[in-house]
Structure formats: structure tokens, C-alpha cells
Amino acid sequence: MVCAKISVPILQSSLSERRTKLKQSNLHGEFFLQGNVACAEAAVSAGCRFFGGYPITPASEIAERMAFRLPQVGGAFVQFEDEIGSMASILGASWAGVKSMTASSGPGISLMLENIGLGIMMEAPCVIVNVQRGSPSTGLPTSWGQSDMMQARFGSHGDYGVIALAPKSPQEYFDLTVKAFNFSEKYRLPVFVMSDAVVGHMTEKVVIPPVEELEIIDRKYTDKKPEDYHPYEIKKGDWVPDFAKAGDGYLYHSTGLTHDHRGYPDMSEKCHVQLVNRLIDKIKKNIDDISMVEERDLEGADVIVVSYGITSRTVVPGINLAKKKGIKVGYLRLITVWPFPEQKIRDLAKKVKGFVVPEINMGQVVIDVERCAGCVKTISVPHPGGGLHKPEDIARAIEEVAYAK
Amino acid sequence: MQNNEPKHPMEQYLRMDRMPHIWCSSCGLGSVVTAFMKGMKRAGIDLNKVVVVSGIGCTGRVAGYVKLDSYHTTHGRAIPFATGLKMANRDLTVAVISGDGDLFAIGGNHLIHAARRNLDLNVICVNNFIYGMTGGQNAPTTPLEAYSSTAPYGNYEHPFNLVGLAAAAGASYVARWTALHLQRIQDSVEVMANKKGFCFMEIVSPCSTVFARKNKGGTGLDLLQEYKQRAIIDHSANPTEIPLDMDGEMVCGVFVNEEKLTFWENVQKGISRKVKRHPLYVEDKKTQY
């Protein structure tokens, strides 16, 4: 193996220089890779140069891979004393102008929630990978679930917009991790990659393109002089403030308190209303850009199976069973789970008999499907975790909707 | 501010548009902030590269008043936040200024581990023996039998000895001063700014509003007088043997000042070593890193 020379941190260099340096560091080609390793390689390719983490099954491989890879590309890996510290540290690294990431699972994510809120409020770009396991509490460390979906949406206290992506395979785990970095840089917030123990631990073919072929978005740095710069000033018609990193002489203040355009605490109702609305709107108003779905056979379908992540692979045999019985079944996979594609479901609801929503939880995303489906029948196919849906269960639910009076 | 009024000598280093600050009169924090900025100025480093991180509480508000890149983070998490900043950009000088509750109760674990790793951070703990902002509750530093909002019968708990804890955890530099030792604080800030490794300074500061009131300490000025009488300087003291209590001596000084490899220096050393092959290791003959 040939180790790259330890490059200087890729911070102040121009885009072309950065690309060249990244080119040296990005592992590309065709591999037979474990999902979690693909995720770590995606982070390295996207330009992540700081990882703060804490061991937890089934996410530890990401930290192990980052511990091995980051020093080779001039980045830093720190194993913290807990997940709270890990989450706080990636916000700090983000403010130093470096793309940063952490990875954990249920119990660890629960500990991170307060600082995820800080990241939302400070608008610090970063990526949080949640390799979901069977829950609640310690649950099933070595087994899977999808039961943290609502936690990703509403976990930290307060109201805010959130982006969560759900990969179904190691290849997609790679692609979506790069995407997560892009969204986090573009909209300046912590972005979730919601994988699970199956996707994290399965090994499949992963094609990694050279870094110059990847679409990589970087946060928008301010072009203002320090004396004219306000950290939270929004241009008209824009949602996201321009960024300035620590150490560049902008001498700004950032806080988790409700703040005005200068970043100073402002306890007025007006300021709070404005800020909270913007944090929600910057995601809501850009849903067309953020939302990604995969559709199959939606034209003329009577029943649509809505699924995400690993479940979207296990539903296929069930759909095929129902199709053999002559039912017209459509397949809708949410690649972006949050923000939820409300309009899409509303439009489909006008044309179909109903929806079937299998998840490896007791019915979380189905709440939103029901909300948007209106009077149309929506059936949840829950599974508490530790196993996968059986094709018969899916087929039965499809029939129930198709033959409903 | 009108032009005929006297100007604060440190005006260019403070966010004057945020004055008046929220601290009580006779609180030690005002002079601590001034001493910190003076020390940083004396340290001769580019102030654009100095970052202040605070947690929550009275001292947590320091970040909002200094004219530096500054972050007011969540309760107890200033040290890991600062770790991320420092590790992502090693050119920064990162100072964590927070209170005893923030750094040693909710954030205690981060502090001892940061000291153990010998991360290149300057941590300044303003110790007022109590939770001020939330109304005078018991802190991990509240002396035994002292009164607080949550200890109506007097405190049942033994307090932490902050300098002893930091020294035992592996800090490279450990000092204790009171809020009256302004020159000494400046000296320590200057040393810490230019020193590698984990530097820790405790500043014993009067809290007239809750600590003095609950413990018959009189006004903030009376408390300052009392600290002045109780403080002695002894650099040779063993930091683990000089706890603070209600009426004994306050032993101040620089107790630890040693050189050892920092976390980042150890990382640099490690990179040149042979890598331990990992079972997840991927290698493709055609691909070179």
C-alpha cells in the first residue's frame, strides 16, 4: 500500500488546489466493501477532515476506518469520552471551516440531541450518521431497526427543519453520505444519514468515482470585509447566511441563544419568531431540491407501497406476490425521508386506493403518509426490529387495501 | 456612549455595543475578562487567531463580550467544542472560559479527558463556589456546610479541589489565582497562550449576589477583602493538597508547568509508524492513495 504524503490541512487552499489534493487522497475504483466503510470513504471523498466519535455497535467501523484514513489526508480523528463530546466537537471543527462528521447508533444519538440543536441554531454544517439498531434503550446492539426516524425529525427540543437520508445499500450509503455533506454545506445544518445495522454491515460492490467526478458542494464563504460582516445576515430572497470561519479576522460571535443578525442574544418575540421560522423555512421552501424519491410502476397503480432504507429491498418479493394476484402495485422509496414529500403523497392519493407503509418500527413515517393521504386508506406494516418483513405480510397488507370496500 | 464620557481602556477588545453587561456589580468576571484580554495582548499573538469558547452560566457569557471569534455553546460542552476547533485548525489559539459548575459538574468528564490527552487548550475556570445565574444552587465546589438554594441545611458534599483534579488528570500547566491577582492572571494568560498542551487556571471569584448573601459574606467588597486576607502564594505547594474551604487559606500560585508531548504531536509521531492492518482494510492493486 502506498501512503499519501501527509498533506497540510486542506483549508485555505483554492478549489482547484483542493481538488488536486483530494484526488491524491480519494480511494477510487471498484470494491467489495462493507457499508460502514463505504460511508467513511464517502466522507473522505466529500472532503471531511474531522471525525469525533465514540465506539458503539453497529457504527464503530466508521470510526475505525476514519481513524485509519484521516491522518493520511491531513485530517484529525479524535475518539471522545462520550457521544456528547463527539457531537460538540464536530460543531467546533465545522466553525474552523472543516467538514466534519460523527457516527453513532440509538443510545449515542440520544446523547447527541442537545448539541444537534446547537448545530441547528448556530447553523454549523456537519453530518451525523445513525446506524440504527433495535430499540428502545440498549435494545439490540447487533441487530437492526428503523425506529429512530421520528427522533431524527423531532429529537432535539424545539422546532426546526431537518434533513435525513436513508440508504438501502453500501453503494447508496456512499452516494448519500456525499449528498449529506452537500446538503449540510448548502443549507448549513447538521444532516442525518439514517442507515441501519443491515446496510452498515452488509458487503456489496461499491463503485467509487475519482473525486473530480463527484459533485461536491462547499459552504458559501462571505465576500464581505470583516467590518461589514454579520454572521446571520440574510440576503433578500435567500435562506442561508454567508459563512466566515474562525481565525480569519471576522471576530464574530455565535450562540445557541436566540440571536439577531449580529449573532448577539436577542430575547424579543420578534427576533425569535423570525429566527425559528427561517430555520424551518430554509428546508421547507427548498424541498424540491432536497427531496429524492425512487418510483416504480406508479402509473395506474391501485396500491402504493411506501418504504425507505433496507425495508425497500425486503418489500419487493411481497409486491411481486401481490402482482401475481393481479393487483396493480406501485413502489415509492423515500431516499430523503425528511423533509417529507407531502405534495407527492397528496397528488398520488388522488389516484390510488391506498398506501401500504412497511417500516422496521411500530409506525413512524406512516403518520406522515396518513396525514397527507387524507381519506385514502393507509395501512402500516410494523415490525419492532431484529427481523425483516416477510413477503406474505406485505402482500396481505396490499390485498387489504386493494380489496377494501 | 457620549464623547465626553471616559472610555474604557480595553474598548477595542470588547464588544461595547453589548454593554452594559449582565454581571452584578462587584462580581469578579468583569476584571477577569479585562485581565484575560490584556494577557492575550501581551502574549504577542495575532488576536484574529484567538478563539474563545464558553459554556452556560454567568461565566458562559464571557464569549459574548470579547471582540474575538467566540462561541457560546451548550452547558458543559465548551471543551469538546474547542477540541474540534483546535484539531480542525491547529493555528488557532483556543481558550475555554467557563464556570466551576459548567466545567466540573456537567462538563467534568470532558475536562479530565482533555487534560489526559494533553490537548492544546487553555482552560480558565472562574470559580465562585456556586451556581450564580440559576439562583445560587449547590455546585461541585461549594464548601462543606456552606448554604445554597439546594442545600438549605448546609452542603453535605465534599467539594472538588479543581487544581488537584486538573494536575492529577495530566494537565501541563496548572495555576490558581483569585480575582484580585489581576497581574498574576495576565501573566498566566500570557504563559498559557504561548504554551503547548493542556493549560488550566482556576480563578477564585466573588459572587456577592448569591454566595455572599446565603453565607453572610456581606457585600461583594467584603468578600473581596476576605479573599485578599485568605490568599497566600506558594508555587511549591502540591496542588492535590490545597483544597478550598469556607475560612482557611487560599493557596495560590503556579503549581504545574511542565513540557510533554501534546495530542497533536503524538498524532504526528504516530503517522510515521507502520500502520496496523485492519480487517476492514481495502486494497486495490490499481488504486493508490
- Selected for mutation to probe chain B from A81, A100, A252 (highest B CB count within 10 Å) is A81
- Contact indicator for B92, A246 with CB cutoff of 8 Å: yes
Probe site for chain A from B68, B73, B89 (most A CB atoms < 10 A): B89
- B80 inside 8 A of chain A by CB: yes
Span A81-102, mean pLDDT? 96
Task: State the cell numbers at B243.
Answer: 483544597
Residues 90-149 of B with CB under 8 A from A: 90-92, 109-110, 113
pLDDT single digits (tens) A183-225: 999 999 999 999 999 999 999 999 999 888 999 999 999 999 9
Residue in the block written with cell 429491498: A313
d(CA A204, CA A170): 6
Average pLDDT taken over every residue of chain B? 90
The pLDDT of A241-265, averaged and rounded, is 94
Sequence-distant (6+) residues with CB within 8 A of B229 are none
A112/chain B closest Cα distance in angstroms: 11
- Under the banding of pLDDT at 50, 70 and 90, the label for residue A312 is very high
- Smallest CA–CA separation between A56 and chain B, in Å? 17
Q: What is the C-alpha to C-alpha distance for residues B125 and B236, in angstroms, rounded to an integer?
A: 21
Mean pLDDT on A292-307: 94
CA distance B47 to chain A (A): 8
Q: Is the Cβ of B15 closer than 8 Å to some Cβ of chain A?
A: yes
Q: Confidence band (pLDDT; 50, 70, 90) for A25? A: low
DSSP state of B148: B
Q: Do B267 and A71 touch (CB under 8 A)?
A: yes
Average pLDDT over residues A270-287: 95
Strand-pairing partners, residue A294, are: A333
B55 pLDDT above the threshold of 70:
yes
In this prediction, residue A29 has a pLDDT band, given cuts at 50, 70 and 90, of confident
Relative to beta strand B199-204, strand B122-127 is parallel
CA dihedral sign of residues A135, A141, A142, A146: positive
Residue A287's alpha-carbon distances to A290, A294, A344, B210, in angstroms, are 5, 15, 11, 50
| B 156-195 residues inside an 8 A Cβ radius of A | none
Distance to chain B for A161, nearest Cα, Å? 20
Taking only the tens place, the pLDDT of each residue in A129-165 is 999 999 899 999 999 999 999 999 999 999 999 999 9
B89/A98 Cβ within 8 A: yes
What whole-number percentage of chain B has pLDDT above 70? 94
DSSP reduced 3-state for B159? coil
**Predicted pLDDT of residue A7:** 37
3-state SS, chain A, equals CCCCCCCCCCCCCCHHHHHHHHHHHCCCEEEEEEHHHHHHHHHHHHCEEEEEECCCCCCHHHHHHHHHHHHHHCCEEEECCCHHHHHHHHHHHHHCCCEEEEEECHHHHHHHHHHHHHHHHHCCCEEEEEEEEECCCCCEEEEECCCCHHHHHHCCCCCCCCEEECCCCHHHHHHHHHHHHHHHHHHCCEEEEEEEHHHHHCEEEEEECCHHHCCCCCCCECCCCHHHCCCCCCCCCCCCCCECCCCCCCCCEEECCCECCCCCECCCHHHHHHHHHHHHHHHHCCHHHHCCEEEECCCCCCEEEEECCCHHHHHHHHHHHHHHCCCCEEEEEECEEECCCHHHHHHHHCCCCEEEEEECCCCCHHHHHHHHHCCCEEEEEECCCCCCCCHHHHHHHHHHHHCCC
Radius of gyration of the CA atoms of chain A, in A: 22
What is the pLDDT confidence band of residue A313, given thresholds at 50, 70 and 90? very high
Q: Which residues of B touch A90 (CB under 8 A)?
A: 84
Q: Which of A392, A404, A403, A324 is nearest to A358 (CA)?
A: A392
pLDDT at B273 over 80: no
What distances in angstroms separate CA A342 from CA A293, A336, A345, A349, A362, one per listed residue? 12, 12, 5, 11, 21
By the 8 A CB rule, do B129 and B105 touch?
Answer: no
Query: What would the mean pLDDT of B239-260 be, rounded to a whole number?
Result: 94
DSSP B113: H
Looking at the predicted structure, is the pLDDT value of residue A8 above 70? no
Q: CB–CB of A178/A214 below 8 Å? A: yes
C-alpha cell at B139: 455546585
Residue of B nearest to A35 (CA): B280
Residue B120 in contact with residue B264, Cβ under 8 Å? Answer: yes
Q: Indicate whether this model's pTM tops 0.75.
A: yes
Closest by CA to A80, choosing from B82, B195, B265, B261, is B82
Three-point CA angle B47, B48, B53, nearest 5° = 85
Instruction: Please judge whether A2 and B289 are an interchain contact, meaning their C-beta atoms are less than 8 angstroms apart.
Output: yes
Residues on chain B touching A94 (C-beta within 8 angstroms): 84, 88
- Is B63 close to A255, i.e. CB distance below 8 A? yes
pLDDT band at B46 (very low <50, low <70, confident <90, very high): very high
B165-207: per-residue pLDDT in tens?
Answer: 999 999 999 999 999 999 999 999 999 999 999 999 999 999 9
pLDDT (tens digit, 9 = 90+) per residue, B127-170? Answer: 999 999 999 999 999 999 999 999 999 999 999 999 999 999 99
**pLDDT-derived band of residue B223, with 50, 70 and 90 as boundaries?**
confident
The minimum CA-CA distance between A317 and chain B, rounded to whole Å, is: 32
State mean pLDDT over A71-79: 90
Per-residue buried b or exposed e for B17-31, using 16+ beta carbons within 10 Å of the residue's own CB: ebeebebbebbbbbe
Q: What is the mean pLDDT of residues B220-224?
A: 85
Q: How far is it, in rounded angstroms, from Cα B234 to Cα A42?
A: 55
